Amino acid sequence: MALALTVGSEVWVEDPEAAWLKATVTKIEDATVTVEDENGVERVIEDATEEKLPLQNPKGKGGVDDMTQLSYLNEPGVLHNLKDRYSLDSIYTYTGSILIAVNPFYPVPQLYGEHMMYSYRDRMLGELSPHVYAIAEEAFRQMSQYNKSQSVLISGESGAGKTETSKLIMNYLAFVGGHSKQKQTGEKTVEQQVLESNPILEAFGNAKTVRNNNSSRFGKYMEIQFDSKLRISGAAIRTYLLERSRVVFVNDPERTFHSFYQLCYGADEAERETLKLRPAQEFKYLEQSTCLEIEEMDNAEGYKRTKEAMSIVGMTEEDQHCVFRVVAVVLHLGNVVFEADPEDDEKCVLAEDSKESLEAAAELLGTQAELLEKALSTRTRQTFDGAITSPLSAAAATHSRDSLSKTIYSKLFDWLVHKINTSIGQDATSKLTVGVLDIYGFEQFKKNDFEQFCINLANEKLQQHFNQQIFKKEQEEYKKEEIQWTYIDFVDNQDILDLIEKKPGGMIDLLDEQCQFPKATSADFAQKLYNSFTENKRFSKPKLSRSAFTLNHYAGNVTYETDNFLEKNKDYVIADHKSMLASSEYHFVASLFKDKEEDKQKEEASKGRRKSVSAFRFASLGNTFKGQLKELMAALSQTEPHYVRCIKPNSVNKPGIFETINVLQQLRCGGVLEAIRISCAGYPSRNNFYDFVERFGLLSPGLYDQDLEESQMCEKLLELAKLEGHQIGKTKIFLKGGQMAMMDKLRTEKMNAAATMIARHMMTFVAKKCFKKKKEAIVTIQCGARSMFARRVFNHKRNTRAATKIQTLYRGHKAFADFNKKKHAAVQIQSVFRGMKARRHASDLRQDRSALMIQRKWKGSRERKRFLHDKDSVNKVKAVWKRKKAKQVLRQLRLEARQAASLLKDKKALETKMKDMEQNVENLQEQKADLRAQLKKAKVQLAETAEVEDKLSQSLAEIEGLKLSIEEEKKSNEAAQTELVSLREMLQAAESTKSDLETECSQAKEEVERLKEELASKASELEGAKTQNESMAKESEGMLEKDKKMQELLSRLAEVEALNDALNNKLAEVERTPNGKASFMDGMRRMSNGVQMAFSNDSTPPTGTPESRWSEQSADNQADKQHRELEVRKHKLREEKQGAQQRKLLEVLLTNKDFNNGVSVGACTTFKCLLHWNAFQAERTTIFDQIIQSVGGILEENQDNNEVLAHWLTNSVTLLALFRRFVRPPSETGIQRRSRAPSGLFAFRSSMIFSRSPMPDSGSQSSQKQVEAKYPALLFKQQLDAFVQKIFSLLRDNIKKDIAPTLNHCIHAPRARAASAADKKASRGGPALSTHWTTIINLMQGLLQLMKDTHVPKFLIRKLFKQVFAFINVQLFNQLLLRRECCSFSNGEYVKTGLAELENWIHVSTTDYVGDALEELKQIRQAVSFLVIHNKNKKSLEEITQEVCPVLSVQQLYRISTMYWDASYGTTTVSNDVLAKMKRTMMEESSNSSSNTSFLLDDDPSVPFDFAMLTEDVVELRIELKDFPAPDFL
């Protein structure tokens, strides 16, 4: 295929420093291509190919989420896509199903947390932006859907963020899986213990390396177990290849494991004394490196954190002390030094300065110092002749010491892992697991040792597994799209795996063989490798080395130094060490070296074969690791894998730096580029039909006018390009390598031709526009000249006319002034003459008035003197007459004063009689009140008796067959007749008493009349002395008032007589009744006795003999017994009737869905019946429970039926409103304040009468008094309130469920086929509203109509729509921020159109029903408004945050800005300066505040009201119970 390049093509060119640089083709000559790179340097490429000059992908800020969607899937495209996304903090990117995570090296809390977990839950992979939560969700979803275990393989070099990624996956699995059972109080759950175990494993398994301060020096596979309900039920942690050699040897400036430094710096004084600790720099194992402390890590705090984690996973204080005691032992062993014996070089002796360290180590190990020294400096070999002990040289003793240190630490690490697994607990019945593999990545240093060899072997095995899975998924993609394909060849690394681990003849096998020879050296091992693998293409020998070899791994060539291979591969178990430590006095140390059952069986089986027992038991570390790898791969093969590749962007561990060479090497080591090669081997370019037509449709615009499917249009375009070998799938088009470049070449040529045509027409347009401007300028000049001459002529004429006007006005003004002067002079003369004449006339009038005044005063003075003389004469005559009359009155008064003494005596006697009368009147009033009360009760008793008679007449038919009962009833009737006779006698006695009372009343009347006469006579006698006797007059008035009271008493006595007559009439009716009622007679007898006692005097003794009273008492007992039996029957009848009424009431409540003036008939009828039955005042009642159970059952059955829910929401609110209006809570003293209840039959009757009080009159309903609620009523109110909130929540959640699927489409414009030119012209008015937005509006309208039909209060409708619109805002806004394809200009227009239609619906629906729900959409409205701004790059941060989007946070604006793209109009996002300011602001807020920094919105699930808010005014209910008639069953 020809090179698909043209002049102007944008390509990549290799660069030794930047890996790849952007370049533009400037010249093409056959196979020689000249390009100009982005730095302006011109380069000539000989024999140019697509591999040397790969094409650039179409420009788009922010890159793509999935790199398989790149038009050109090549190495520089992948690299720079990651770089572009990293610059915008998009640290996650997909490559198919692989997630690439780039370490940001600074906190990004807005990407994590529960809000993000909720967003990714139940979402398919690729539906939202790339995220580690999406991988975890995919694993959990496949496990639950396919019932198959899953695994997540996390790899990457040290410092790439593998451990943090595994923590995030664990957090998500704990979020979706939870735990199967609740732990006890204070105890952690399984997932929490797994997460809390990380500090322990990091402390004992992590160390500082050159590249990372917290590098994991072991592999970790965490297996999360799930039960049948997909809840976390257990967990297990497996570890691989702890780097034991780091215990005894470390390179500067690296460190050994963190636990040593934490112990040295974090132990308190007591621990330091117990463990005999020194400063860290005094321990030889630690002083090998100058780095003892790390800037970002506090050793003392790490020690505390490690101990806290130990406590969380269940380690006791004793266990923790034992663990750190073993760590201290390793440190002390490092200070034990052996020297050569001066007498014998084959022996060694302990250095003088090492005795203290040896004794400390022995004491902490629980053994003797002599035994420890002997175990380190000698070896014992068992033979048939006995044990043979041989000394060791100083070098051998040092190796023995280091071997013991490594063994002890390795055993301790294994014990910690076992302890953690035991504490967490494993579920043996679990069949579903999700494994998280956190393992070291491919390593390549300047000097690579045995550890790197093992690590790279593990990565080769994982890469093989990775390649197989990627190839499998590639095939699944082809099968899914139903295309024809052939087998794809890919590079398999099985040959290098055979080279390393084949048995026999593999490198590990040869290494084990060399380790069996005590005198073997690294040079011997290297030479054996050279001899065995010289011809293997994966193996090579470096030219300048005799002990190194080079392997060609999948990630590149790695050279290994064999200097330490033999020593590090040996995993000797020295018998002397084992026997010494197994007998330690400390159980913890002894348990570390306790023989396993398998080892014991092997020893017993080998006793018969061996002639002697070696002091060393050889074990190959390489073989051990190979076996672990085999187990790991077997476990992974049983699961469905998911891959996360962690990338370290720079070697300085700082944010914002992207080293392309470093990242490219990691992509190669991580197998990402290998996955790309597998994809390129088949169909590397794959696009969905819409994107392909959208990009290349301009090659044949006529296709838009044809009625073709998108797949057919793609086929036509490929035929036009004359390409072969492509495949058309169900949703995508698959192109071979280079075919996309050919399509881009045709597109570029087409666009160049179109650009030329546009330029030609543009030049013509510019020339025409210039000619028109010149022509318009000439016409403008001519117009100006002509207008100037015309203005001159006009000005001359105007001036002439103005002069004439001025002359006319001046002459007129002068004539008018002369006329005014003459007129003024004439007026002055006339005024002087008229004034003189008037003054003369006024003088004459004044003289006449003065003369009249003088005459009037003289005449008045004369008459006054005459009047005063006559007045003095009259006064003298009156004085003489009054003096005479006064003397007469004085004589009369003196006579009356002599008679006052006798009058005072009469007054006192009269007062005494008046007091006696008042006492009698009060006694009469009390007797009258008691009589009226008894009569009133008798009336009520008669009414109840009539009701009971009706019921008994109905029950006579049921007891006809009971003759004995009838006879007993007859006997009781006869007894009742007897009682009636005695009652008549009692009534006669009462009548006689009444006649006596009447006589006494008549005497009182006569006495009053006599007193009146006396008062009248006294009043006539005292009429002349009123002034002196005012007090006596007042007393007389008091007597008159008492007389009035006596008159009132007489009138009430008349009423009592009338009531007595009525009682006699009722008695007569009872006598005529065939079956008299003993209970009624008994009540009447008691009432008559009370009446008799009331009318009799206190001094009158009870009549009758003791014998008669005894007979009356026995009759009373028999009557009471019959009364009780009758009451039991009537109580059963009442219960049956009450139950029937309650069932009818429930039927009305549950079936009646009618409304009267917008008020529920069923609810009002129910409340009216409850009031009638006094249910709210009852201490016990079952009607409330029946109502709640019935309604609750309906709600449970109809949780998804909005119509039923809306109806019961109205009923519940109506009942609550009525409850608030007619029922009041109990007062503080209401429970204690009890009226004294009457006893006996009358008490029962009165209570029954009050409980069955008639329905209140309709006219008095408006003034209904509130009743005091008892406990059942208050509980009923609380249950109603709970019902309202529950129904409201169900309604809201149902609406959310209905609109949620549609909202996912409303945020993204539908990918319809591109319209033709005519269609585009017709649609210039704006994007059309899609069916999804129409569906949302229809759902809202249907909900509103349902609320109206069921008469839900407007207050609740407004609250409901407010929460629904808040949910719409949250869903749309979160989708916008999580899906990059939604953050485009065209998509913003689409969403803005939908929001405008939704806003229009709100206005049409009016605020009465919707309220201020539009305010809940402010986030999505402002975000969409920001998307459709054309000049975003010209906006400053202040303008955006204060004017355009004042509600949105900086995190949200940054997210939108970094995800924005525009393929339709070419608009760009905000400027880089604004992005930098946003990023700085986010980092400052993150460091200064601990608040939530999420850019997502949270949906509020709470109910926005309570019972206190549901008043009649708020819910707009005006209920009048009189409008609802009583039901028939009452």
Q: How far apart are CA 242 and CA 952, in angstroms?
A: 97
- How far apart are the C-alpha atoms of 1492 and 113, rounded to whole Å? 9
Answer yes or no: 166 catalytic. Answer: no
Count of all residues that appear for the chain in the document: 1530
> Cβ(452)–Cβ(169) under 8 Å?
no
- The answer to whether the bond into 1074 is cis (omega within 30° of 0) is no
CA 1386 to chain centre: 32
Which three-class secondary structure state does DSSP give residue 239?
Answer: strand
Residue whose structure tokens are 């967990």: 235
Q: Which of 197, 212, 1211, 1449 is catalytic?
A: 212
Is residue 1235 annotated as part of the catalytic site, yes or no? no
| Four-point Cα dihedral 804, 808, 813, 819, nearest 10 | 160
d(CA 134, CA 152): 12
**C-alpha angle 583/587/593, rounded to 5°?**
55
Reduced to 3 states, what is the DSSP secondary structure of residue 1159?
Answer: strand
Which structure tokens are listed for 802?
Answer: 């103005």
CA distance 970 to 1179: 40
- According to DSSP, the β-strands at 219-226 and 556-561 are unpaired
Q: Which residues face 21 on adjacent strands?
A: 13
Cis check: omega of the bond before 1272, within 30 degrees of 0: no
User: Does residue 1493 carry a catalytic annotation?
Assistant: no
DSSP state letter for 1295: H
Question: Is 505 annotated in the active site?
Answer: no
Question: What's the rounded Cα separation, in Å, for the pair 315 and 417?
Answer: 12
Contacts of 465 (CB under 8 A, 6+ apart): 633, 636, 637, 641
Catalytic residue among 68, 95, 155, 163: 163
Q: Give the whole-angstrom CA distance, residue 75 versus residue 431.
A: 41
Residues forming a β-bridge with 390: 379
Q: Are 559 and 448 in contact (CB under 8 A)?
A: yes
User: Could you give the residue ranges of the DSSP H alpha helices within 129-206?
Assistant: 132-146, 162-177, 190-196, 198-205
Residue 102 forms beta bridges with which residues?
A: 647
H/E element, 937:
helix 900-955
Separation of alpha carbons 101 and 165, rounded Å: 8
> Using CA atoms, how far apart are residues 1297 and 1452, in angstroms rounded to an integer?
26
Choosing from 216, 421, 433, 1449, the catalytic residue is: 216
- Give the DSSP per-residue string, 1404-1462: HH-HHHHTTGGGGGHHHHHHHHHHT-TTGGG--HHHIIIII-SSS-HHHHHHHHHH-B-
- Helices and strands in the chain, H and E counts: 48, 29
Helix (H) or strand (E) holding 1227: none
- The answer to whether 1031 is a known catalytic residue is no
Q: Is 149 a catalytic residue?
A: no
How do beta strands 539-540 and 206-207 pair?
Answer: unpaired
**Residue 1453 tokens, joined:** 């604006």
**Contact indicator for 1490, 1515 with CB cutoff of 8 Å:** no
Q: Which residue out of 57, 215, 685, 1493 is catalytically annotated?
A: 215
Which has the closest alpha carbon to 168: 176, 158, 159?
Answer: 176
- Residue with tokens 């033999």, as numbered in its chain: 566
Q: Is 627 a catalytic residue?
A: no
Told to judge if 1316 belongs to the known catalytic residues of this protein, a careful annotator would answer no
Instruction: Indicate which residue of 75, 443, 1389, 1416 is catalytic.
Output: 443
Please check whether residue 677 is in contact with residue 667, taking contact to mean a CB–CB distance below 8 angstroms: no
Report how far residue 1467's alpha carbon sits from residue 1435's, in angstroms, rounded to the nearest whole number: 13
Q: Which of 62, 77, 159, 177 is catalytic?
A: 159
Indicate which residue of 266, 435, 441, 729 is catalytic.
441
Classify each residue of 211-238 as buried b or exposed e, where b means 16 or more C-beta atoms within 10 Å of its C-beta: bbbbbbbbbbbbbbbbbeeeebbbbbbb
Buried b (16+ CB within 10 A) or exposed e, 1423-1434: bbebbbbeebee
State the catalytic residues: 158-159, 163, 212, 215-216, 441, 443
